[in-house]
Amino acid sequence: MRSVRDAAFDVLRAHGLTTVFANPGSTEVSLLSDLPDDLEFVLALHEGSVVGAATGWAIARQAPALALLHTTAGLGNAVGALATARENRAPLVVLVGQQDRRHLAQEPFLAGRLEGLAGDYPVRVETPPRAQDVPGAIGRAAHAARTARGPALVIVPMSDWAEPMEELPVPAPAVLLQSSGTDARSVAKVAGLLGAAVSPALVVGAGADDAATWEALTELAETLGCPVWQESFGARAGFPQDHPSFAGHLPGDRTRLRETLAPHDFVLVVGAPALRQYPYATGPLVHEGTRLVLVTDDPGEAHRAPVDLAVLTPLPAFCAELAGAVPPRPAAVRPDFRRRAAAVEPPREGEPLRAAHVFAAFAGRLPADTVVVEETPSSRPDLHALLPARRPLGFLSAAMGGLGFAMPAAVGVRMAVPERPVVAMLGDGSSLYQIQSLWTAAHYHVGVIFVVLANGRYAVMDRLAELQGGKPPWPAFEEVSVSAMAGALGCPARRVTDHAELLRELDAVVPTLRDRTEPLLLEVAVEPDPIFVP
């Protein structure tokens, strides 16, 4: 007789969930022992790395990924990464182990109160009432992960997998189709507003990061002859950042935001919150004469947006129809809004390296389709200026803002799209949050280049304390060697301390990016950057 486990494997196969990212515990052994040959197991050494790698995989594949967590300890360790997955709109099916159903009422060792542990970050949490309901719950989680674009959790008692499966249909649709069409009236409404605007502008965000939407927004920007801004704190690029219409990244404070958008009487926000801020400041988002309209496929963004009009719609089709519906503006030439980065001069003899020197060295060498996974809070503006995203999925960061995303996410991205070069840019403080993921990269031959900018401190926190007029109480950690830890985890690593050495390393490594099957960590000693204002 077929078991619940057998039926669950069939559901996983039907949804393409055949790669299992996991850090197993005893409550999951009954599922994982003698795993079928067509299911691939990927071990990570911490649950944050499990979910981080699955998140990178899901974003790169634009399809749900499967993660397995161990009861209370595992789910608890992964909550921050699940929050990031939710904010990054990454579809995940997460199976969480639980103690044996037959004595759960007595709260045995390793039993967990799991349903509320991750808070509101999962898009769905289900504990099946019977063992035989587990396969259907997995199918429902796969659909929820796709439609709500986030982590969907299924909590499974360890005894359920061996139970006999009844010969009834699994209560979840085998295939769920969503309409990709648009409402012609919505297109006409937004097109009319754009056509009537004297000085329109576009703001794009992570939701627009796919080839079809980039193409449509490029046509729209060229038709309008208007600038295109990237949302502040964007986790992905919503527009080709080397295009003449790209004006740069919006500032993250309200005063500078108002001034940036002041020349425009109409701002269309596509695939981004309207408009994300940090830190808090008083006053309106935009001047009284500026009208805001949002187009998004995220219900949460639409519901909370302080805009005149919000349109909830699939973005590729809507943007394509909108680009065709807007008449060209009477401009003699197409303007060039690009803000070209100031030339970065190499450091003089004896001068220390800075982050900008590292980014500038990469800028002329990286292939256009490189995926840059970022976690360098203190030097992010320099990275944006010097390493613009030139292809969809060209830039990836943690929408939540928490640390510990970039290293495992880069592993997951490269595993999902091995034809794309992948470079992770991290601060040394950031790298320590999920340093364990280097073992996964080494063991599974994942050819990511990890560039760790080592200044021996939490530089962005130091700068924020200085902006408050205070002195940080936390110490530096200059004695920490990330390259030594990488070596201990089986990942090849080298430490770079001067510019000439950096250039030699990049000339040797960058040409191998597309085909390499071995990770490499470059720990680059840098001087902390000046005060960074988001």
pLDDT above 60: residue 533: no
> What are the φ/ψ torsions at residue 34 (nearest 5 degrees)?
55, 50
59/332: higher pLDDT: 59
Assess whether 147 and 195 both reside in one domain.
no
45-49, 166-170, 292-296, 500-504: segment of lowest average pLDDT = 166-170
Q: Is residue 396 part of a domain?
A: yes
Band (pLDDT 50/70/90 cuts) for residue 110 is confident
pLDDT above 80: residue 531: no
pLDDT above 90: residue 174: no
Assess whether 310 and 414 both reside in one domain.
no
Assess whether 198 and 291 both reside in one domain.
yes
Residue position matching structure tokens 């486990």: 5
Q: What is the pLDDT of residues 443-456, one digit of tens each?
A: 999 999 999 999 98
> Cβ–Cβ contacts within 10 Å for residue 482, how many?
24
pLDDT at 175: 73
411/457: higher pLDDT: 411
Question: In what order do the strands lie in the sheet containing 291-296?
Answer: 246-249, 228-230, 200-204, 266-270, 291-296, 309-312
Q: Is residue 344 part of a domain?
A: no
Assess whether 79 and 213 both reside in one domain.
no
Cα 58 to Cα 61, 154, 370, 507: the distances in Å are 5, 18, 17, 31
Q: What is the pLDDT of residues 295-315, one digit of tens each?
A: 999 988 898 888 999 999 999
Assess whether 24 and 111 both reside in one domain.
yes
Band (pLDDT 50/70/90 cuts) for residue 331 is low
Assess whether 106 and 149 both reside in one domain.
yes
161-175, 207-221, 228-242: segment of lowest average pLDDT = 161-175
pLDDT at 375: 95
Q: Is residue 254 part of a domain?
A: yes
Q: Is residue 247 part of a domain?
A: yes
Q: Report which DSSP code applies to 478.
A: T
According to DSSP, the β-strands at 449-454 and 493-496 are: unpaired
CA R_g for the chain: 24
Segment 80-94 mean pLDDT: 97
Look at residues 162, 194, 226 and tell me which one is the last residue of a structural domain: 162
Number of domains in the chain: 3
H-only helix segments in 377-514: 380-386, 406-416, 428-431, 437-443, 459-467, 482-488, 499-509
Q: Is residue 167 part of a domain?
A: no
Assess whether 317 and 225 both reside in one domain.
yes
pLDDT at 378: 84
Assess whether 194 and 54 both reside in one domain.
no
pLDDT above 80: residue 172: no
Segment 146-156 mean pLDDT: 96
Give me the chain's average pLDDT, please.
92
Assess whether 423 and 283 both reside in one domain.
no
Band (pLDDT 50/70/90 cuts) for residue 333 is low
pLDDT at 219: 96
Assess whether 294 and 402 both reside in one domain.
no
Assess whether 156 and 191 both reside in one domain.
no
Report the distance separating Cα 146 and Cα 15, nearest Å. 11
Q: Report which DSSP code applies to 162.
A: G
pLDDT at 530: 67
pLDDT at 447: 98
Query: How many alpha carbons lie under 13 Å from residue 486 in its C-beta half-sphere?
Result: 24
- 491 lies in which domain range? 355-525
Band (pLDDT 50/70/90 cuts) for residue 349 is confident
pLDDT above 80: residue 200: yes
Segment 21-28 mean pLDDT: 94
Segment 212-218 mean pLDDT: 97
221-230, 342-351, 368-377: segment of lowest average pLDDT = 342-351
pLDDT above 70: residue 212: yes
User: How would DSSP label each residue in 45-102?
Assistant: SSHHHHHHHHHHHHHHHTS-EEEEE-HHHHHHHHHHHHHHHHHTT--EEEEEEE--GG
H or E segment and range at residue 247: strand 246-249
Segment 338-352 mean pLDDT: 85
* CB-based contact 83:90 (threshold 8 Å): no
Q: Is residue 533 part of a domain?
A: no
Q: What is the pLDDT of residues 180-198, one digit of tens each?
A: 788 899 999 999 999 999 9
Domain with residue 238: its CATH number is 3.40.50.1220
pLDDT above 70: residue 532: no
pLDDT at 464: 74
pLDDT at 274: 86
pLDDT at 177: 67
Residue position matching structure tokens 């397995």: 68
Report the distance separating Cα 23 and Cα 360, nearest Å. 38
Look at residues 111, 130, 162 and tell me which one is the last residue of a structural domain: 162
Percent of the chain's residues with pLDDT above 90: 77
Task: Compute the residue count for the chain.
Answer: 534
pLDDT at 466: 76
Q: Is residue 79 part of a domain?
A: yes
Q: Is residue 222 part of a domain?
A: yes
Assess whether 147 and 216 both reside in one domain.
no
Percent of the chain's residues with pLDDT above 70: 98
Domain with residue 32: its CATH number is 3.40.50.970
pLDDT at 300: 86
